[in-house]
Chains A and B, each alone.
Chain A
Amino acid sequence: MASSCSQALRHHVCKSSRILRVHLQKAWPNRSFVLNPAADQQPAVSSPEEEIVIPKKKTWSKEAVLQALASTVNRDPTASDYRFQDDPYLTPKTSSEFKLFSLSQESGRNAAKYFISTYPKYFQKDYAQPHIPCLMPETLEAQIEEVSEAALIERIQMRKVKAAVDLYDQLQQAGTPVSLDVTNQLLDLICFYGDCDPAQENVPEQRNEETEDVQDEPQTKKGRASKASDKLKAAWKENNNAERIFALLSEPNTHSYSALIRGMVKYGAYSKAFSTYTDLLNNQLKADVSTFNALITAAPEVKEKYNEKWELIVDLLKQMAEQKVKPNLLTLNAVLKALRRCGTVGKSQAFPVISEMRALSIDPSLASYNHLLSIFYKPGAPFQGQTDILQEVMNEVSGKSFTPQDPDDAQFFITAVRICLDTKDIEQAYRVHELLGVGENWRLLGNDFQQNIYHARFFSLLCMMENIDVVLKWYRDLVPSVYYPSSNVMRDLLQALDTDNRLDLIPQIWKDLKQLGHGNRQTLVEELLTLMAREKQNQEVQETFAECALDIKKMYDTGDRGKVMMSWTAGSLSDLVSVLLAAQRRQDAWEILKLFKTHNRVPSEELLDKFLTCIKESGDVNQALELVQISAGFCLPGTPKLIQRVQQEFLLSEQQKSMLSDLEIQTFNSD
């Protein structure tokens, strides 16, 4: 049609081509706001004699404008997650708060849905104009009461397994024939849920379970919990309804077999699935691609040896080719996933499999790459000479935007960054992170839990490999807007500070630590104190250290809203004293020194020695004597030495002298 139009137009165009061209050129830049590349629709106005190609009508998706607008918004590293921006009071500061707030938001939604669905009669008023179906209560009860095929279809659509099976039996008894399609749908339903009613969120019995699940992540909750419970509760039972109904079928077709085999594979009856497949072949039928996918998934389960597993997979693929079944991406991923359990065979065959699928113009998704990485990098195994696989994979995927096509797609980033961490390959880690920023790839990072793992690994690697300035740059970018570091990661950060000799940043980090809720992690706090006490810094830094140390002391004193308090150890106390002494805060240090007694800790001799030196600088004789008394009180073996020092270095009155000699005798006697 376009060509005929252009034929008709040509005459006219030739005359006014110049004007037209000018107009088109004028108009074209105005369309440059297009979101999707419209290269193929570009009208060819190269020369007036040439045929004019009328551009195709551009159909816009209804989100086009919004997408264009959304693409203009960048992430603000100082802001919290969008979910929490409605109420600044509820901005989470720690990972537990983050979890709590996001879960309460989700559970609030679920609660509302539950009430609407349970009491639909109170929610019948339709305010929305035009009508919004998703806001109206769902019908949960079957509407058709009589025994008919329509009622069966309705029950299948509402996923009521038991009711549908009962109805099917009634129909059979009444002698009403049920069409093959509907029976197949019923088989699908039974096999999918393993002959049990699906666990419905909105059923009151489930509520207890749900509240327990609150600790879990909101999005995985449904998927993971239901999957786990399915696996635990339901195994494929001998002669269950699916098999029974299947046996009743006079002429099962591919779809029926497919449903049965997939159900068997899903519920762990692997060898049975293969025998059903043999049945299918005996009946002169062909399997469909999803059947093969399920069988490939099951292949590693039915064979013991690596070779046998692989041979079975190859055999299945050959049968696919014979039966002219075109594999799809899920086939590729199933094969690769199976190869993960084939040891060395997996390593040799993974790339040929990918090449094979490429030849069929099936491009691997992130899940394929994830499986590939898992084949070559087993966790805990040595990594010699394998770094190149990650590089090859990164060379393949860099700069590409992926769309989710497989549930395993979301594992890729975690796996990749784990390998980077294991191989200490910061370059690849940057590439992985860069890939995350391309297009919609951020969606494939998965849920909050996975995001946390990813960022923890990435940040640990940074702390390990990078210069402290770079680490801090990333730290400010990621924390706390997308990532709440755990105490382990914060320890990594402290170590990075230590290695690059930037201990002066510690007070700053301590503030963050407190805010992130790690202020009561004893090991972390002790490490912080040790780092501060270890070396003498310049005066300014020592001042801030002292402030920070006193702040830490407050943390010990108050505890955190009745939570388990940290207990002083001799090491932490003496570190604290050293920090304060280094900042010339003798009085504060003296207070701390008293804490040794109250907490039944024993100070070290070096500490007391240091303290005495500090006292000497100010020349406070009484305090020196008290120090000696404290030392004697702890029965420290170094007390005589202290006494000696005091005698030599201070100007003592007679009374003080006699006191000292008394002490000396005491300690001598106790020895």
Chain B
Amino acid sequence: MYRRLLINIYQVRNGLIHTQNTRLPSTKCKERESFAPVIWAPCTARPLGTSSISFSENKESSTSLSEDKEKRPEENEAKEEVNADGQKSTEISNATLTSQLETEPVDKPEDSKQVEKTKSGKESLLELLGAMKVEVTTVRKIRPSKTPRMSERPDQEPMESTHSMFQHATAEGSQQQGTLNPALVAAVSAAASTLPNRHQAESELLKQLRKHEAVPDTQRRADGQNIGHIIADMKVGGRKTNGRSSARPTSQIRFDDDGKGYTQDRGITGELDAVRRRKSPFTSKRLNIFTAGMEQDTLSVLGPTLWDIDLANQIVQATNQAPRNGFEEMIQWTKEGKLWQYPINNEAGLEEEASVPFHEHVFLEKHLDESFPRQGPVRHFMELVITGLAKNHHLTVQQKKEHIDWFRDYFRQKDDVLKEAEA
């Protein structure tokens, strides 16, 4: 049976398909360490107990569950009685938690919700968790509106510590003291019916329950510090608003694949994201018509056709293009070309010279080639001219050339005079 349970656990883990909501009383568990295997089934159907909600569409798990049923008839009995009681078993079709701890068959499992009574530290809890076997649970139908919304809540207060959340949850729970949840009573009677003297057991159970409900807030808060350490590493479920979950304890213990027995660093959002991602229809299977790396046959592309222009036009008309402030209006004008563009670098307004490299501006000797004398005062003069031009940033290259050409013409005209003076 141990093997069997182990297999089940692995199924749960590998599937990563459930969120286990349990309330684990380490003290109580400790006390019961010498007892026979406890049946947790009654609790699971009860909103306050070690209820576990899990999402599973895993067919395998449910079949394995039925196998389990054969092996453990007495557990089944208990479970089915609970179901027959017309509790919320429509949603939680079946959930069992068995512990390897030796406990007596039915030992007021509702005590288990009393986390506040724990005195042992994190280590003992871990031990217990490690020793515990979690059985596969199935849920036939998940309420669609609930799970994604749950994922929203933590977004708003993601930094809320688990400790404070716990306190919040207990505060919620304490609102219910005095009056016991009818579902709870039903569960108690279900549990009691498995015992020989049914009525006595039932009344004892209920008495015990009321005692818990009456635990004063102050004590809870005092214990909260201690619990805070323990549940710091637990998964804590989001607060739900419906009646069933408002009464449910919030510590959710969850196993993970990392071998430590529980997840450590991932926050509630991460977990719920995982739930959501898993459930998201956007990740459903594809049609498998196209292959991903498909190469497109290149057709002759002739630039935008009339249809493309019209599409762009339609998009522009469908959307709101009205500017919201002066800057946006200026952007619009810039795009339309009405506004001189705002300088974004030191080359603004460089339209006609944009394609001219700087050396065209600076190295102008090449324009002084054969049309000027190789040496002499004219050459000297012209060298000074091009030096001046090279440093002039107001003129374009074309204008500089024109400048040089003017001198060329001028000296050609004065050729006679020059020759006379020089020669």
Contact = CB atoms under 8 A, between A and B. Distances in A.
A326 B289 CA distance: 11
Given A66-B342, A188-B305, A409-B319, A324 B297 contact: yes
Interface in B294-339: 294-297, 299-300, 302, 305-307, 310-311, 314-331, 334-338
Interface string B258-292: 00000000000000000010001111111111111
B341 A351 contact: no
B320 A427 contact: no
Contacts of A318: 289
A321 B294 contact: yes
Contacts of B283: 355
A274 to B, nearest CB: 19
A324 B294 contact: yes
B290 A385 contact: no
Interface in A289-324: 290, 314, 317-318, 320-321, 323-324
A65 B292 contact: no
B307 A446 contact: no
A486 interface: no
Contacts of B323: 82-83
Nearest to B320: A443
Contacts of B292: 359-361
Nearest to B343: A65
B291 A321 contact: yes
A389 interface: yes
Best-buried of B145, B281, B324, B342 by chain A (most CB within 10 Å): B281
Interface string A515-545: 0000000000000000000000000000000
A287 B163 CA distance: 63
B287 to A, nearest CB: 4
Nearest to B316: A404
Contacts of A132: 337-338
Interface in A560-609: none
Interface in B324-377: 324-331, 334-338, 340-345, 351
A395 B274 CA distance: 13
Contacts of A75: 324
B280 A446 contact: no
Contacts of B144: 385-388
B180 to A, nearest CB: 32
Interface stretch (A23-31, A141-149, A215-223, A657-665): A215-223
A60 B284 contact: no
A1 interface: no
B344 A65 contact: yes
Contacts of A83: 322-323
Contacts of A321: 289-291, 294
B299 A327 contact: no
Contact of B336 (A134, A219, A323): A134
Interface in A22-71: 60-67, 69-70
Interface string A413-450: 00000000000000100010000000000111111000
Given A317-B290, A324-B296, A409 B338 contact: no
Contacts of B4: none
Best-buried of B319, B323, B330 by chain A (most CB within 10 Å): B319
Nearest to B344: A60
Contacts of B281: 351, 389, 392
Contacts of B311: 330, 407
A326 B334 contact: no
Nearest to B151: A395
Contacts of A290: 307
B347 to A, nearest CB: 11
B148 interface: yes
Contacts of B291: 321
B325 A70 contact: yes
A155 interface: no
B331 A352 contact: no
Interface in A313-345: 314, 317-318, 320-321, 323-327, 330
Contacts of B405: none
A75 B322 CA distance: 14
Contacts of A323: 297
A70 B64 CA distance: 63
A254 interface: yes
A133 interface: yes
Contacts of A360: 290, 292, 294
A254 B305 CA distance: 14
Contacts of A324: 294-297
Contacts of B148: 388, 391-392, 395
B71 interface: no
Contacts of A262: 307
A134 B318 contact: no
A355 B285 CA distance: 6
Contacts of A62: 334, 341-342, 344
B152 interface: yes
A666 interface: no
Given A67-B331, A325-B297, A354-B282, A443 B321 contact: yes
Interface string A69-111: 1100101000001110000000000000000000000000000
A189 interface: yes
Contacts of A431: 152
A406 B318 CA distance: 9
Nearest to A317: B289
A281 interface: no
B380 interface: no
Nearest to A263: B307
Given A360-B290, A443-B319, A188 B307 contact: yes
A317 B310 contact: no
A24 B270 CA distance: 38
Contacts of B341: 62-63
A639 to B, nearest CB: 58
B72 interface: no
A135 B338 contact: yes
B149 interface: yes
A623 interface: no
Interface in B133-175: 144-145, 148-149, 151-152
Contact of A181 (B289, B290, B295, B302): B302
A396 B344 contact: no
Given A327-B290, A387-B144, A387-B145, A351 B284 contact: yes
A286 interface: yes
A367 to B, nearest CB: 9
Given A314-B287, A325-B296, A359-B292, A407 B325 contact: no
A189 B296 contact: no
A290 B311 CA distance: 12
A651 B351 CA distance: 101
A291 to B, nearest CB: 11
A385 B302 CA distance: 49
Contact of A220 (B310, B317, B336): B317
B284 A320 contact: no
A226 to B, nearest CB: 10
Best-buried of B289, B300, B316, B338 by chain A (most CB within 10 Å): B289
13 contacts: A61-B344, A67-B327, A82-B323, A132-B338, A134-B336, A185-B305, A349-B287, A353-B287, A355-B285, A358-B286, A361-B292, A396-B280, A447-B320
Given A444-B319, A446-B320, 8 more contacts: A70-B324, A73-B326, A82-B329, A188-B305, A351-B284, A355-B286, A395-B151, A443-B321
Interface of B: 144-145, 148-149, 151-152, 276, 280-292, 294-297, 299-300, 302, 305-307, 310-311, 314-331, 334-338, 340-345, 351
Closest A-B pairs by Cβ, 5 of them: A70-B327, A388-B144, A355-B286, A356-B286, A223-B317
Interface of A: 60-67, 69-70, 73, 75, 81-83, 130, 132-135, 159, 181, 185, 188-189, 192, 219-220, 222-223, 254-255, 262, 286, 288, 290, 314, 317-318, 320-321, 323-327, 330, 349, 351-356, 358-361, 385-389, 391-392, 395-396, 404-410, 427, 431, 442-447, 451
